[in-house]
Amino acid sequence: MNTKKRIMSGMRPTGKLHLGHYFGVLNNWVNLQDEYECYFSIADLHALTTKYNQTDDMKQNVIDVLLDWLSSGINPDKSIVYLQSLVPETAQLHIYLSMITPQNWVERDPTLKDLAKIMKDKNENMSNLSYGLFGYPVLMTADILNFNADLVPVGVDQVAHVELSRDIARRFNNIYNTDYFIEPQPKLTNVPLLCGLDGNKMGKSFNNDIKISDTDEITEKKVKTGITDTNRIRKDDKGNPDNCAVIYKYWQIFGTADETNEICFACKNAQMGCAECKKRLAQKINDKFAPIREKRIKLANNIDYVKDILNTGSNNARKRAKEVLDGAIDVIKMYK
């Protein structure tokens, strides 16, 4: 009997992943694969909630996310990797859950509220906020409950959604007088957040990210744009790493303790300029990601194999999802 606890998580296919995804979520997933039974979903339906009219890149984005996952160490022999839209049981479960979810619960969702506010402020057409978008957290709940997952490893920005999933699971159990659904819990990593090169949140739309799949040259070019101690203008100015908002923070993640101390000392004593410091940092980043990038190129050259992984994973996910859905339909007492 399988006594491992179950994990379910997902990412929207928005394009090639960056190092914020890697350290914030992906690396965490990779490390959980032995201890847990894992389901990882490429959430293409969630992408559609806001990008329903920008679907030209959808197929490529799915492949890119898959390549990033597999090269980073998501192992299809250990975990089930699947595409959300290839598991229609999730859409079915979503509709049952949507019936029992109070409308004011989804309206309270902080992410949706933010989104609505941004659109209002930008004077955008509010009809771009679709009915499906308001179902975002309910669809996420369907993803999680479809496997009766115990834990959901996500970044901080997703915790509110997982809390809502708990509430919906509990409400289902109360309404139908059952303990059918497990109340899932968020599982956070305690790694420090990797900010973007401009000091803001890393994101592809902010043009401040380094991709997992960037080449060494592009990585070096991007690192050059990183913010340093702004009081340090010339090379013989003494620097203060505590005021070095981006580059020194990266050192603390990518360097060993010894290396980071050495950088700190050289900076404080003006023994090394920022250009040199950045060049060395880029080298560290490139060294760390070299095996992942190499693997990614190999996989990209073997695309049929990669697609096969997604199809097999989706079929396996379906089997499990169907069992859980059928049980829920019984609990609701639908005619069948």
* Residues binding ligand TRP (CB under 6 A): 8-12, 41, 43, 46, 140, 143-144, 152, 154, 158
Q: How many residues bind ligand SF4 (CB under 6 A)?
A: 14
Among 135, 184, 196, 241, binds ligand SF4 (CB under 6 A): 241
Among 210, 277, 321, 328, binds ligand SF4 (CB under 6 A): 277
Q: In the 8-state DSSP scheme, what is residue 318?
A: H
Q: In the 8-state DSSP scheme, what is residue 192?
A: P
CB 197 within 8 A of CB 208: yes
Tell me how far apart the alpha carbons of residues 12 and 117 are, in angstroms, rounded to a whole number.
Answer: 22
Which one, 173 or 240, has the nearer CB to ligand SF4? 240
Shortest distance (Å) from residue 42 CB to ligand TRP? 9
How far apart, in Å, are the Cα atoms of 232 and each of 38, 267, 280, 282, 297? Answer: 47, 10, 18, 20, 39
Instruction: Give the position of tokens 């992408």.
Output: 47
Contact region with ligand SF4 (CB under 6 A), list: 13-21, 85-93, 242-250, 284-292? 242-250
Q: Which of 21, 79, 70 is nearest to 307 (CA)?
A: 70
- Site membership for ligand SF4, residue 197 (CB under 6 A): no
20 contacts which partner out of ligand SF4, ligand TRP, none, CB within 5 to 8 A by kind? none
Which one, 274 or 309, has the nearer CB to ligand SF4? 274
Tell me how far apart the alpha carbons of residues 186 and 55 are, in angstroms, rounded to a whole number.
Answer: 30
144 contacts which partner out of ligand TRP, ligand SF4, none, CB within 5 to 8 A by kind? ligand TRP
Q: Is the dihedral of CA 245, 247, 250, 252 positive or negative?
A: negative
Shortest distance (Å) from residue 269 CB to ligand SF4? 10
Give the residues across from 41 on adjacent strands: 10, 82
Q: Which residues bind ligand SF4 (CB under 6 A)?
A: 228-229, 232, 239, 241, 244, 247-248, 263, 267, 272, 274, 277-278
